[in-house]
Amino acid sequence: MEAKAFPMNGGDGAYSYTKNSYYQRAASYAVKEMLEEAITEKFDITSLSSSSNTIRIADLGCSVGPNTFITMQNLIESMERKCHSQDCTTMPEFHLFFNDHASNDFNTLFNSLPPDRHYFAAGVPGSFHGRLFPKSSLHFVHSSCALHWLSRVPEDLLDKSSPAWNKGRIHYTNSSEQVANAYANQFAKDMEVFLDARADEIAVGGMMVVIMPALPDGVRLTQDVICVFFDILEQSVVDMVKLGSISEAELDSFNLPLYVPSLKEMTQLGQSNGCFSIESVELTDPLSKMVGPLNVRAVVMHFRAGLEGILSKHFGSEIIDELFERTLDKSAEFSSRFESCCSKDTQLFLVLKRK
């Protein structure tokens, strides 16, 4: 079954991902030094570039920029420094592949490519829940703030005869154990497919770095900032059902296809594939590099940039402004919940090396 596409808002308008992705950028900044350390200590650039003098890098789930360009530039500079430290006779050339669903706004992405970039760029449309590249063709794979998107909504959530029917809710944050298990099972299936595909595509000795939301073992889902927002958004949808702006059937048939795994889950899934060694796995504070207090309005705008597409497709675009205004009003009430979540280590940094 083909994976579903849930693209971020394209263009560069007020609600675009381009204008509203600072928090995702902060997540990358939080692990910048860790990424450089992983390349310095674990990435054998000399051996990997020996046959063609080319290093091939893929950014999976790149969206529309500018975050992918900033991260890729940092990554390449780290590789160049490693080459200089090893007295490489020839600096390799870098070929970068920017990947996202075919419905991603690649026009905006490539119109904003840095003019002074030190790499060759190509777009690769398609879901990373499956093969995208020839066998053993990649040397380094990067994915940030993307793998928590499921390939599809778990089918049991929409089955009225199933114990996992998620009536009256849009996520598993405050739902039953059966609903949470359905999400967890779908995520495990998706990760198995993802890792199998990357095992085919990454050359022996190559590396993959995954950055995504995750929970410390034993920490409740309600302590994650993403899931706190989903809880508030759900309350806003329920309010609009009561007012008649959204039908009860529309609510019952909608579920957000996002899952936040625990550190233990991700470690086990990484080990179970068997084709990778786990070089590093730890949790970090995704907003540790931010200055000043959390801006709740900005948080809501960021979520709108990421969720407007899927919400509009299901509920209709005419309800979007009201939905997010209501959510913003509730977010002010829950600002303390946001603040308490943002002090926690809820971002996974995972380094895998192809055996």
Report all structural domains of the chain as residue ranges with CATH numbers, in order of start: 22-354 (3.40.50.150)
Mean pLDDT of 124-142: 98
Burial of 299 (0-12, 13-18, 19+ CB in 10 A): buried
For the ranges 63-72, 85-94, 309-318, the lowest mean pLDDT is seen at 85-94
Q: Do 210 and 284 form a contact (C-beta atoms < 8 A)? A: no
pLDDT band at 1 (very low <50, low <70, confident <90, very high): low
Token readout for 31 is 């692990």
Q: Does 223 score more than 80 pLDDT?
A: no
Mean pLDDT of 297-315: 93
pTM metric for this prediction: 0.95
**Sheet containing 276-284, strands listed edge to edge, beginning at the edge strand earlier in sequence:** 120-125, 93-100, 54-60, 138-144, 202-213, 347-354, 276-284
Q: Does 52 score more than 80 pLDDT?
A: yes
Alpha helices in the chain (DSSP H): 22-30, 32-42, 45-48, 67-85, 106-111, 177-201, 225-242, 248-252, 263-273, 296-315, 320-333, 335-341
What's the count of helices (H) and strands (E) in the chain, helices before strands? 12, 7
Nearest to 67 by CA among 31, 99, 109, 129: 109
For the ranges 56-70, 137-151, 192-206, 287-301, the lowest mean pLDDT is seen at 287-301
The per-residue b/e assignment along 309-332, b for 16 or more CB within 10 angstroms, e otherwise, is bbbeeebeeebbeebbebbbebbe
Q: What is the sign of the dihedral through the CA atoms of 300, 179, 165 and 192?
A: positive
Return the percentage of the chain with pLDDT > 70, whole number.
94
pLDDT band at 298 (very low <50, low <70, confident <90, very high): confident
Mean pLDDT of 4-30: 88
Q: Does 294 score more than 80 pLDDT?
A: no
pLDDT band at 24 (very low <50, low <70, confident <90, very high): confident
Model pLDDT, residue 291: 60
Mean pLDDT of 191-196: 98
Model pLDDT, residue 51: 85
Q: Does 29 score more than 90 pLDDT?
A: no
Model pLDDT, residue 89: 80
